[in-house]
Amino acid sequence: MTRQELIAQIQQKGSYLCVGLDTDLNKIPAHLPKTAEGMLTFNKAVIDATADLCVAYKPNLAFYEQYGTEGWEVLKATVDYIPDHCFVIADAKRGDIGNTAAAYARALFDDLGADAITVAPYMGRDAVTPFLEHEGKWTIVLGLTSNPGAADFQYHGEPKLYERVIRACAEWGSPEQLMYVIGATRPEDMKEVRDMVPDHFFLVPGVGAQGGSLTDVSNAALTADAGLLVNSSRGIIYAGQGEDFATDVRRAASTLAEQMAQFLKA
């Protein structure tokens, strides 16, 4: 999906919502079997309930890879089920270099069919550019994360390490192919990052269960093109636990999407 196609979806739906498919068999509704089949049934129900409200889905690969071949088959079937008008992010946080990075890119872009992959840039340019070589695909670099451990490295130095990472990556990839992960729990820093890279999209985790505020994020970083994909996982996909859980899932997604529509109109 190109940048213009992504922007068109945001404008058409009035939403910059990304739904995280971090499916945990211990948390899905009790009436569903705790099996690969149950996981896929759950994912399909979530997608059916939200596809017209969100512009992206973000399956976290760890929740699928832990089950080996069966898990990968569920992941592949899930990605295949997502409508073509939705952007698919493989949340893999790959961080190797050279031929290994190129192999990861082929696996997730070509075989899985993802539009984007999250990438850890700690090893530098060699860990990022192999993903950028895939035309029509996106690399989403970890820029400034919301976890408490972010302070261990990302804020060190002057300029801070995260600032150096963001500026360097902006020279390797254009706003047409490169995004940044910027955590929702640090809106004051997000504003500074937006000033540094005014045209790049941000993938923003941490709204909802992790305490991030959609209002703070939108005020800090929304652009004329939106420039944001705000992810919610647990707050949406586990909103209901009954046999009609999909109704609650839709209600939770709709609440966020309606708030986003107001920011886009402002």
- Which residue(s) pair with 58 in the sheet? 20
Q: What b/e string do you get for 249-261 counting C-beta neighbours within 10 Å, with b at 16 or more?
A: bbebbbbbbebbe
Q: Which two tokens stand for residue 12?
A: 């058409």
In the three-class reduction of DSSP (H, G, I as helix; E, B as strand; rest coil), residue 114 is classed as coil
**Residue 76 designated active-site:** no
> DSSP character for 223?
B
Q: Phi and psi at residue 204, in whole multiples of 5°?
A: -115, 100
For residue 121, which of 167, 165, 184 has the smallest C-alpha distance? 165
**Which stretches does DSSP call E strand in the chain?**
17-21, 56-59, 87-94, 116-119, 138-144, 178-182, 202-204, 228-232
Whether residue 130 contacts residue 105, with contact meaning beta carbons closer than 8 Å, is answered with: yes
Q: Residue 8 class from Cβ within 10 Å (0-12 exposed, 13-18 middle, 19+ buried)?
A: middle
Whether residue 227 contacts residue 221, with contact meaning beta carbons closer than 8 Å, is answered with: yes
Residue of 93, 137, 191, 265 marked catalytic: 93
Known catalytic residues are 93
